[in-house]
């Protein structure tokens, strides 16, 4: 019996199956003509859209779903959902905070170590049979005791800082506002943060407010001995500026889990041993994805039963 649930975009197979089997959810067609036809015949039945950061629900789709009351987002980042339009229409939005913090912070630290120490490239060196032929692998950069600047000191930024404190790193951060009681040093701008850091880690939310926050000026402040690590959103970095800095040797290296146009990765990065590339796997463990799925379904059930979301995101005043 349909309960007015619509899946928007691809989700984990287990979640897709539950939505279909337990909620008789519709799947929004991707073909434009089929989609238009679906929205005309079923648009007014839909009460909840379930989506993820990959696709989201934009203002046009909200307008085509006149009885939509909630957007339930699988993932902590919801930058692809138009929260301004949601607020204006009285639509609630939920995400999956906390349950993925540890995994994403683990990814940031792993990516930082892999990038500075070039472990993926040294693994390729062994597999290619180069060790007996070319001898010792070139020396790399120490991780412990580095000066780390973190952009975005929310839950994930804090968990990264906590882990890197155990490596005796000096931690500074830039954030929309200074975090009360934080043991780390607040810096007023990304440029100043980068200038005083060996490694700049991006843990900020995506969306218009952080679009290309890490631009050429910031990358130049990080400098030829500096490294960038991004586990947040590709949109936070000016990707063209990043590629040119790496091509020109104006940056020592980068560890990237996210990109501006996923799943496309800029071609020049593919051959660089000082760059580590990951296919957006920050939260990608069995345990964390199961916890994200569980929280997504709790939000869905709660909304269907009571009209309330369990983990709503703050919406802008409309
Ligand atoms: C997910 C993420 O992979 O939570 C987020 O914001 O980027 C990841 O944990 C993504 O949302 C799934 O599409």
Q: Is the CB of 51 under 6 A from ligand 1?
A: no
- Which residue puts its alpha carbon closest to atom 10 of ligand 1? 75
Whether 280 is catalytic is: yes
b/e per residue 24-43 (b: at least 16 CB within 10 A): ebbebeeeeeeeeebbeeeb
> Is residue 239 among the annotated active site residues?
no
- Residue 121: the pLDDT is 98
Contact between 125 and 156 (Cβ < 8 Å): no
Report whether residue 54 contacts ligand 1, using a CB cutoff of 6 Å.
yes
Is 188 strand, coil or helix? coil
For residue 75, the ligand 1 atom closest to its alpha carbon is 4
Q: What is the pLDDT of residue 195?
A: 98
Per annotation, catalytic residue among 174, 239, 280, 293 = 280
> Average pLDDT over the chain, rounded to whole?
97
Q: Which atom of ligand 1 is nearest to the CA of 104?
A: 9
Instruction: Render 62-99 in DSSP notation, one character per residue.
Output: HHT-TT--EEEEESS--TTS-HHHHHHHT-EEE---ST
Q: Spell out the alpha helix ranges (H) of the chain.
A: 13-23, 32-42, 59-63, 83-89, 101-117, 119-127, 130-134, 155-165, 190-195, 216-222, 239-248, 286-306
Q: What is the pLDDT of residues 13-45, one digit of tens each?
A: 999 999 999 999 999 999 999 999 999 999 999
Residue 203 has pLDDT above 80, yes or no: yes
pLDDT in tens, 291-316: 999 999 999 999 999 999 999 999 99
53 alpha carbon – ligand 1 mean position (Å): 6
Find out whether the beta carbon of 75 lies less than 6 Å from any atom of ligand 1: yes
Ligand 1, atom 11: closest residue by C-alpha = 75
Annotated catalytic residue, options 124, 130, 176, 262: 262
The arithmetic mean of pLDDT across residues 126-148, rounded, is: 98
- Cβ-proximal residues to 314 (8 Å cutoff; 6+ apart), any chain: none
Q: Above 70 in pLDDT, residue 318?
A: no
Please, which residues have CB within 8 angstroms of residue 221's CB and are 6 or more apart in sequence?
191, 192, 194, 195
Q: How confident is the model at residue 317 (pLDDT cuts 50, 70, 90)?
A: confident
Tell me if 289 sits within 8 A of 128, measured CB to CB.
no
Instruction: For 60-102, write each residue's pLDDT tens digit.
Output: 999 999 999 999 999 999 999 999 999 999 999 999 999 999 9
Average pLDDT over residues 173-194: 97
**What is the crossing angle of helices 101-117 and 155-165, to 10°?**
50
What would the pLDDT profile of 5-14 be if each residue is shown by its tens digit?
A: 999 999 999 9
Asked if pLDDT for residue 199 goes beyond 90, the answer is: yes
Where residue 2 falls among pLDDT bands split at 50, 70, 90? confident
* Closest-lying ligand 1 atom to the alpha carbon of residue 73: 11
Answer yes or no: 262 catalytic.
Answer: yes
Alpha-carbon dihedral sign for residues 297, 302, 305, 308: negative
């Amino acid at each position: 019996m349909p309960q007015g649930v619509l899946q928007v975009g691809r989700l984990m197979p287990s979640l897709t199956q539950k939505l279909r089997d337990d909620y008789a959810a519709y799947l929004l067609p991707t073909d434009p003509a089929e989609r238009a036809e679906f929205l005309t015949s079923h648009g007014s039945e839909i009460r909840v859209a379930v989506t993820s950061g990959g696709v989201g629900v934009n203002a046009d789709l909200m307008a085509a779903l006149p009885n939509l009351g909630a957007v339930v987002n699988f993932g902590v980042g919801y930058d692809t959902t138009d929260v301004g339009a949601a607020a204006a229409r009285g639509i609630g939005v939920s995400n999956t905070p906390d349950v993925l913090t540890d995994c994403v912070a683990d990814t940031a630290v792993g990516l930082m170590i892999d990038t500075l120490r070039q472990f993926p490239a040294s693994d390729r060196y062994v597999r290619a049979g180069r060790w007996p032929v070319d001898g010792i692998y070139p020396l790399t950069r120490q991780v412990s005791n580095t000066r780390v600047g973190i952009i975005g000191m929310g839950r994930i930024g804090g968990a990264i800082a906590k882990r890197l404190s155990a490596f005796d790193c000096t931690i500074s951060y830039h954030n929309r506002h200074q975090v009360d009681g934080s043991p780390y040093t607040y810096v007023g701008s990304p440029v100043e943060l980068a200038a005083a850091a060996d490694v700049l880690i991006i843990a900020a939310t995506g969306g218009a407010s952080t679009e290309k926050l890490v631009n050429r000026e910031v990358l130049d402040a990080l400098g030829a001995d500096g490294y960038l690590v991004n586990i947040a959103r590709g949109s936070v970095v000016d990707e063209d500026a990043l590629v040119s800095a790496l091509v020109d040797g104006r940056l020592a290296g980068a560890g990237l889990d996210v990109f501006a146009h996923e799943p496309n990765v800029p071609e020049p990065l593919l051959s660089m041993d000082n760059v580590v590339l990951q296919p957006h796997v920050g939260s990608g463990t069995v345990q964390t994805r199961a916890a994200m799925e569980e929280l997504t379904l709790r939000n869905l059930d709660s909304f269907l039963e009571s009209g309330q979301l369990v983990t709503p995101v703050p919406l802008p005043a409309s």
